[in-house]
Amino acid sequence: MLQRLMFGLMYRIGFTPWEGHALPARLRRLAEAPAPPGGRRALDLGCGTGDTSIYLSRLGWDVTAVDFVEAALRKARAKARASGATVRWIRGDVTTLGTYGLTPGFDLIVDSGCLHGLPEEARSAYAREVTAVAGRDGSLIILGFAENPRRRGPRGIGAAEIAARLGAGWELVSSEVDADVSRDPGDPIYVHELRRQQPAHT
């Protein structure tokens, strides 16, 4: 609730320093790989004004995007219209994904700066909901600062916490600083890539 109000205010006053950042190489490699027959589905968590969603849509992905700030979605819709991208925009909370009628089985889930700002109590719900909608062998790309409770801004999250929260059903493929995405070398953005491991009995 507090977070939603805070982000709402930031969009209203136009203080959105994350807008327009570069897309990480890890994401581009996955997104631009040849599509299998039948197409591919992507989910953009905390999509903001939609840059990642629009990029994926223009590559031919079937994209669903979720954000809880209407002002961000309004701008995202306008940008998508202008660039000819088709995205299913959902105003909603990433910790309650199960309530929006999403069809599970996403091949790619992208979180560019959402999880790292979630409060403690929301992080487990996030992990549960994301796991429920991920596809077999689906990939999850998470961008965020490392944990620093003294930072003014998002608290951040480290690779160990990401792996622990998501659990054994996910393999942590890599965690690395992406210099192209980072704006402050002293407080860089990490890109974490995970892959869904299906339980053996399914």
Q: Which of 57, 64, 95, 175 binds ligand SAM (CB under 6 A)?
A: 95
* CA atoms within 13 Å, Cβ hemisphere of 85: 27
Which residues fall within 8 angstroms of residue 6, CB to CB, at 6 or more apart?
none
Q: Which of 24, 48, 138, 156 binds ligand SAM (CB under 6 A)?
A: 48
CB of 107 to ligand SAM, least distance (A): 19
Task: Tell me which residues in 114-173 interact with ligand SAM (CB under 6 A).
Answer: 114, 117
- The C-alpha atoms of residue 27 and residue 43 are separated, in whole angstroms, by 13
Q: Which is nearer to ligand SAM, 117 or 138 (CB)?
A: 117
Counting residues that bind ligand SAM (by CB under 6 A) gives 20
Stretch that binds ligand SAM, among 55-63, 108-116, 156-164, 180-188 (CB under 6 A): 108-116
Q: How does 24-59 read in b/e, with b if 16+ C-beta sit within 10 Å? A: bebbeebbeeeeeeeebbbbbbbbbbbbbbbbbbeb
Spatial CA neighbour of 56 closest among 70, 45, 68, 71? 45
Q: Which is nearer to ligand SAM, 20 or 199 (CB)?
A: 20
Task: Give the binding site for ligand SAM (CB under 6 A).
Answer: 3, 7, 18-19, 46-48, 51, 66-69, 72, 93-95, 112-114, 117
